A and B are shown apart, each in its own frame.
Chain A
Amino acid sequence: MATIATPAADRPESMRSIFAHVATLARRRSQLTVRTPRELFVPLLTPILFALVIAPALKQALHTSVAYESFIAVGTIGLLVPLNTMFAGLSVIVDREAGAQRELLAAPVRRPTLVLGNLAVAFAVTAFQIAALIVASVARGIHFDATAGGAAWFLAASALFTIGMYGAAETLASRVPKQEEYIARVPAIAIVPWFLGGSLFPIAALPIGLAWLARLLPITHALALMRYGLLGEVGGLRDIWGMTSAPMMAWLSLLVVTTFAAVLTAVSVRIFARSALR
């Protein structure tokens, strides 16, 4: 009869080991993603259409200024990020229904790393798409006016907004049992806030009740910060906060978007860990 060695205690994992697990999981997720190229390109179609076709058409029809094209180009990022992260969340349901999720749950890795592995790929794909959108906009003649500091604001806002939206997607994917139910809820999460969040027009143009609602939406803060960073435009921040100090308003909105990202990430990890176990 065989014997087993006296067991050692459950040793804490090193950071290196945790990073190695996240890297393995992210590599797995990216390999699954590239096998479905629609996940990379479909979310890009609508924002590109808005930035490159609809905004110039509106400019011509409504006699708006060149600045409106830039305004819309940034606004479409507010559509691109939710659409892409929602697509990424769908893959969590596929994993659960027909993939290797239970094998991953039986693996000797911490459950949050499973979420972080997915997040890393959703983040990278979104970054690629935002870059593609900006390159396409510039190629179409749309003008951006970013300093190094402005670029930092833009990157921080878009990164945190992406993280928060992926948290929302992962949470939704963990809560709903079927892909059909998930897809049915996507418009309410990804598209309705986009219309209210100052993407196509300043929130000051909204009726007062909706304007107050818009001030509570993370997308409104994210878009205002992106425009502040990429266009040097402070109107969006002023519509939210009504202050005179642009940096102060930017920091406050960054705090809102950071809180959104942190809370949604924590909630998504918690909900995943709870719902994945039967």
Chain B
Amino acid sequence: MTNGSAIQVRGLRKVFPGGVEAVSGVDFDVRPGEVFSLLGPNGAGKSTTIGMLTGTVAPTGGSARLAGFDVATEPLAARRISSVLFQDPVVDRPLTGRRNLEIHARLWGVPGREIDGRLEAIVDAFALAELVDRPVGTYSGGERRRLEIARALVSEPTVLFLDEPTVGLDPRIRLELLDVIVRLRDRSDMTILLTTHYLDEAERLSDRIAIMRAGRIVALGSSRDLIAGLGDPILELHVHGDPGAALASLGRAGIARADAFAVGSTLIVSARGRSAGEARAAIVAAGVEVLTAVERRTTLDDVYLWFTGDDLAEAA
């Protein structure tokens, strides 16, 4: 059963040889036409999840369906209605852009009489006319990325996977590509599953966001729901000294609860009616210096840090 979902994932799990569990049994549904982001630090399991959904990574357990097609038992049908933009460049560099587009069209079963028309439309839509007859090896990083997105769309997929679509691109090209994805979202009924570790990207593009950490989904909802879950507003305190001791002092004063956390020397505490001044006083009383203390709106960054803070601290 599809349950009306474009993507249905149940207990999906991947253990790589050597025992590394990259994805530890994730469950989620993506509605038709929805843009859904998997957000998380490097190594959280986002790309492995996409790999299992696109048939390039063999799942260890669980199940997944794309538009009702089981990716394990009906792999051809599942792959026929989906396309993927990989994190790394995956193109035939010696061939022209047009040939790369045409190969995709033929393998995805676009009828021969429609291929030229589809290619012309996609070339126009992505402003590739001046590039498309050159070997892809001569493209810049941004041009190649644009071609890869165009290629993924030639077959008019029901489900589109975008795995870190803007990683490694310079800021201007990144913003251009985000515009492309926004237009795509606004103009079509396509379901998009996006992975990223850029919070602004996830917030701007997504209807819902799942935050992954160490192979598990630790939070799922719209950005508004996720922010509301953490509490709004928030107190942000920058301390000079032991942040653990500072957090403990906030706890003793009844200001910090279990959802308070520290990233380096910065403390994030849900305000719940308490002021930044009260928090500062509690910390100073414990002998820790407070450099700044402000009350501000909760952002998706705070939610992300709350759920992945340890990972981020380790990565830093």
Which residues from chain A sit less than 8 Å from chain B, CB to CB?
1-11, 13, 17, 20-21, 24-25, 28, 31-32, 35-36, 98-110, 276-278
Near A by CB (< 8 A), chain B positions 54-84 give 54-58, 67-69, 73-80, 82-84
Out of A9, A25, A32, A102, name the residue touching B95 (CB < 8 Å). A32
Pair B32/A99 contact, Cβ less than 8 Å = no
Give the residues in chain B near A21, CB-CB below 8 Å: 106-107
In the assembled complex, 22 residue pairs joining A and B whose CB atoms fall closer than 8 Å, in A order, are A2-B191, A4-B2, A4-B4, A4-B67, A7-B2, A7-B67, A7-B69, A8-B77, A10-B69, A13-B76, A32-B92, A32-B95, A100-B90, A100-B92, A102-B56, A103-B91, A104-B107, A106-B82, A106-B84, A107-B107, A108-B107, A277-B56
Give the interface size bracket for B toward A.
35 or more
Pair A4/B6 contact, Cβ less than 8 Å = yes
Near A by CB (< 8 A), chain B positions 4-44 give 4, 6, 16, 31-34
Instruction: Contacts A9-B74, A277-B57 given; indicate if A28 touches B92 (C-beta within 8 A).
Output: yes
Give the residues in chain A near B151, CB-CB below 8 Å: 103
Of the stretches B97-105, B212-220, B245-253, the one at the interface is B97-105
CB distance from B91 to the nearest CB of A (A): 6
Give the residues in chain A near B95, CB-CB below 8 Å: 28, 31-32, 35
Give the residues in chain B near A20, CB-CB below 8 Å: 106
Give the residues in chain A near B80, CB-CB below 8 Å: 108
- In the docked arrangement, what's the CA distance between A36 and B93, Å? 12
B229 CB-CB contact with A under 8 Å: no
Out of A4, A31, A107, name the residue touching B158 (CB < 8 Å). A4
B108 CB-CB contact with A under 8 Å: yes
Query: Which residue of B is nearest A3, CB measured?
Result: B32
Pair B103/A10 contact, Cβ less than 8 Å = no
Near A by CB (< 8 A), chain B positions 108-165 give 108-109, 151, 158
Query: Which residue of B is nearest A104, CB measured?
Result: B107
Q: Which 9 A-B pairs have the closest CB atoms?
A: A2-B33, A10-B74, A2-B189, A7-B68, A108-B80, A10-B77, A108-B79, A107-B107, A24-B106
B241 CB-CB contact with A under 8 Å: no
Query: Which residue of A is nearest B2, CB measured?
Result: A7
Give the residues in chain A near B84, CB-CB below 8 Å: 103, 106
Give the residues in chain B near A107, CB-CB below 8 Å: 79, 104, 107-108
Most buried by A among B55, B103, B104: B103
B231 CB-CB contact with A under 8 Å: no
Which residues from chain B sit less than 8 Å from chain A, CB to CB?
2, 4, 6, 16, 31-34, 51, 54-58, 67-69, 73-80, 82-84, 86, 90-95, 99-100, 103-104, 106-109, 151, 158, 189, 191
Pair B32/A1 contact, Cβ less than 8 Å = yes
- In the docked arrangement, what's the CA distance between A199 and B195, Å? 57
Give the residues in chain A near B76, CB-CB below 8 Å: 10, 13, 108-110
- In the docked arrangement, what's the CA distance between A110 and B68, Å? 20
Give the residues in chain B near A100, CB-CB below 8 Å: 90-92, 100, 103
Task: With A7-B68, A31-B99, A32-B94 given, name 13 new contacts (CB 8 A).
Answer: A7-B77, A11-B77, A36-B94, A99-B90, A100-B90, A101-B90, A103-B86, A106-B56, A106-B84, A107-B79, A107-B108, A108-B80, A109-B107
